[in-house]
C-alpha cells in the first residue's frame, strides 16, 4: 500500500489545518480518558468481560506506568465473544453518559471496530469532520479474532480481509471527501498520489456506502473458528501484523495504569515486541507517533453535571434535539 504511517506523519507535520494539543489540553484529555476507562472497566468486571489495554496503551502501561507522555489516546482489546457481550450491555450500563458506534450492530458505523464516545466533549478529527458519527472524546475497542492455523487458508483469508479493508477505507475517503482532506493529502507528493489512488478506488467502490464495506469486513473477521492462533485484524498491523498464539493474549494480566487497575495481554512482552521491536527504547522525537485534531473541547461544567445527574442530561438533551454536546 502507498499509504503508510510514515506518509501520514509527514503529511500532518506539513498540514496547516491540524494542530497538536498543548499540555493543558492534553492533561484534560487524558483525565477524561481515564474516567471513561474506569466506567468501561466497571461494566466489564460486572459482566465478566475480558478487556485489555492494547497497542500504545499497553506499551505506555509497561514502559511508563500509564500514558506515553507524547500520546493522548486509549485503546482496548477484547476477545470477540467478550466484545459482542460488551456491545449488548452498552445501552443498559453506559448510554446515559456515552455513545457508541460499532459495525454489524444497531448502532451507527464509524470504523471497522467499536468506538465509545463521551457525550459532553468535542473532538473533531480529519476523518470524522464531515461524517454523521459522534465527535467527542473516544476510546477505541478492537476485537481479538481467531486466525486459521492452516497457513494457506490464513494467507487467503488475510489477503481477502486486507483487500476489503483497503477498499472500505478508500470508499470512506471518497464519500467523506472535503477541503480539509484534500489539503491534508496535498501537503506532499506521496500524499497527492495516495489521495488520487484512494479516491479513484473509492469512486469505483461507491456502489455501496463505506459503512457497508466496514460491516462486510467485520463479518469476514467474525467468522473465525476456535484456533490456537489469534490476531487483531482491525488494529495497526492489519490482518497479519498481530497474529500470536492464543496464550499470548489470554488470560489477561493485571497491571497499573496511571495508578489504576488495568489489564494487558498475558505475554505482554511478546505482544509488544511483535508490534514495536525493542519497545523499551524511547524513540527520537521525529519518530514519535502523535494525534492531531481540528477541534477539541471538554465542557467541565457539563461534564460534572452529566456525571452526577445523568437523568438531567437525558431530559435536556432530548429537548434540544441531541445538540447539547455536539
Q: How do the domains of the chain map onto residue ranges?
A: 5-319
Burial category of 320 from C-beta neighbours within 10 Å (exposed 0-12, middle 13-18, buried 19 and up): exposed
C-alpha–C-alpha distance, residues 31 and 24, integer Å? 11
261-271 tens-digit pLDDT: 999 999 999 99
Which whole-number Å values give the CA distances from 13 to 10, 29, 129, 190, 232, in the listed order?
5, 21, 19, 14, 28
Calculate the alpha carbon distances from 283 to 82, 87, 89, 125 in Å. Answer: 34, 36, 39, 25
Mean pLDDT of the chain: 86
The pLDDT of 99-108, averaged and rounded, is: 96
| pLDDT tens profile 152-204 | 999 999 999 999 999 999 999 999 987 777 877 887 788 889 899 999 999 99
Using alpha carbons only, give the angle 9, 12, 14 rounded to the nearest 5 degrees: 115
Q: What is the pLDDT of residue 314?
A: 47
Cis ω on the peptide bond leading into residue 281 (within 30° of 0)? Answer: no
Question: Which residue do the cell numbers 504511517 mark?
Answer: 5
Instruction: Tell me the pLDDT tens digit for each residue of 16-48.
Output: 556 677 888 889 999 999 999 999 999 999 999
Q: Are 232 and 240 in contact (CB under 8 A)?
A: no
CB atoms within 10 A of CB 156: 12
DSSP conformation letters of 192-259: HHHHHHHHHHHHHTTTS-HHHHHHHHHHHHHTPPP-SEEE-TTSTTHHHHT-EEHHHHSS-EEEEETT
Per-residue pLDDT of 65-79, as tens digits, reads 999 998 889 999 999
Q: Which residues contact 289 (CB under 8 A, 6 or more apart)?
A: 5, 9, 56, 71
pLDDT in tens, 183-193: 778 877 888 89
Structure-model confidence comparison of residues 116 and 8, the more confident one: 116
Residue pair 244/273 in contact (Cβ under 8 Å)? The answer is no
> Would you say residue 101 has pLDDT above 80?
yes
Residue 8 scores a pLDDT above 70: no
pLDDT in tens, 259-298: 999 999 999 999 999 999 999 999 888 777 777 777 788 8
SS3 75: strand
Amino acid at each position: 500500500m502507498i499509504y503508510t504511517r510514515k506518509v501520514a506523519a509527514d503529511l500532518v507535520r506539513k498540514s496547516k489545518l491540524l494542530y497538536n494539543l498543548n499540555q493543558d489540553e492534553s492533561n484534560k484529555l487524558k483525565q477524561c480518558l481515564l474516567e471513561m476507562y474506569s466506567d468501561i472497566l466497571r461494566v466489564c468486571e460486572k459482566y465478566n468481560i475480558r478487556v485489555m489495554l492494547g497497542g500504545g496503551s499497553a506499551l505506555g502501561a509497561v514502559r511508563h506506568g500509564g500514558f506515553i507522555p507524547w500520546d493522548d489516546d486509549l485503546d482496548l482489546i477484547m476477545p470477540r465473544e467478550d466484545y459482542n457481550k460488551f456491545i449488548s450491555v452498552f445501552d443498559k450500563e453506559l448510554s446515559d453518559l456515552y455513545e457508541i458506534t460499532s459495525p454489524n450492530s444497531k448502532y451507527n458505523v464509524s470504523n471497522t471496530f467499536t468506538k465509545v464516545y463521551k457525550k459532553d466533549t468535542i473532538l473533531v478529527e480529519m476523518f470524522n469532520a464531515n461524517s454523521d458519527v459522534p465527535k467527542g472524546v473516544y476510546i477505541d475497542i478492537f476485537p481479538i479474532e481467531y486466525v486459521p492455523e492452516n497457513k494457506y487458508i490464513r494467507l487467503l483469508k488475510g489477503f481477502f480481509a486486507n483487500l476489503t479493508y483497503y477498499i472500505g477505507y478508500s470508499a470512506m475517503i471518497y464519500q467523506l471527501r472535503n477541503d480539509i482532506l484534500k489539503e491534508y493529502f496535498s501537503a506532499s507528493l506521496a500524499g497527492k498520489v495516495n489521495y488520487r489512488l484512494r479516491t479513484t478506488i473509492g469512486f469505483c467502490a461507491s456502489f455501496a456506502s463505506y459503512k457497508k464495506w466496514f460491516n462486510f469486513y467485520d463479518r469476514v473477521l467474525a467468522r473465525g473458528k476456535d484456533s490456537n492462533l489469534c490476531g487483531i485484524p482491525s488494529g495497526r498491523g492489519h490482518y497479519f501484523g498481530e497474529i500470536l498464539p492464543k496464550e499470548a493474549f489470554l488470560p489477561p494480566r493485571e497491571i497499573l495504569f496511571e495508578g489504576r487497575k488495568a489489564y494487558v495481554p498475558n505475554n505482554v512482552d511478546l505482544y509488544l515486541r511483535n508490534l514495536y521491536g525493542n519497545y523499551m527504547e524511547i524513540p527520537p522525537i521525529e519518530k514519535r507517533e502523535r494525534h492531531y485534531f481540528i477541534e477539541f473541547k471538554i465542557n467541565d461544567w457539563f461534564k460534572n453535571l452529566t456525571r452526577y445527574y445523568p437523568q438531567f442530561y437525558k431530559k435536556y438533551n432530548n429537548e434540544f434535539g441531541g445538540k447539547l454536546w455536539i
